Amino acid sequence: MDYTADDVAEWMVKEIRFSGILHQSDAVKHIADHFGESFIFLNENGNQSISKDVKKAFRKLHGGRIAWDRDGFFWGWT
């Protein structure tokens, strides 16, 4: 199956609605394992991160209802 950035973003929003939070490390692993490595890249610090296309679709979907916690490296429902 060919997944899109929208598919990944929808999973992220559903996961946060269900659990309340989503840690970046868990999201990266799940995305790579279930949607494919094409949605993951190595950032300037050498860490795996979620693609800009997914993040853009994610922001559009949640419309400000989800916040990023910089200290904890997770997203949470607001």
- pLDDT, residue 10, reads 98
Which pLDDT does position 36 carry in this prediction? Answer: 97
| Residue-level pLDDT at 78 | 87
For residue 33, count other CB atoms closer than 10 A to its CB.
9
The conformation of residue 20, written as its DSSP 8-state character, comes to: S
* Residue that has been written with the tokens 């868990």 in this structure: 26
* Residue 1 pLDDT exceeds 90: no
How many whole angstroms separate alpha carbon 20 and alpha carbon 36? 24
Taking the complete model, does pTM exceed 0.85, yes or no?
yes
Fold topology of 5-77: Arc Repressor Mutant, subunit A (1.10.10)
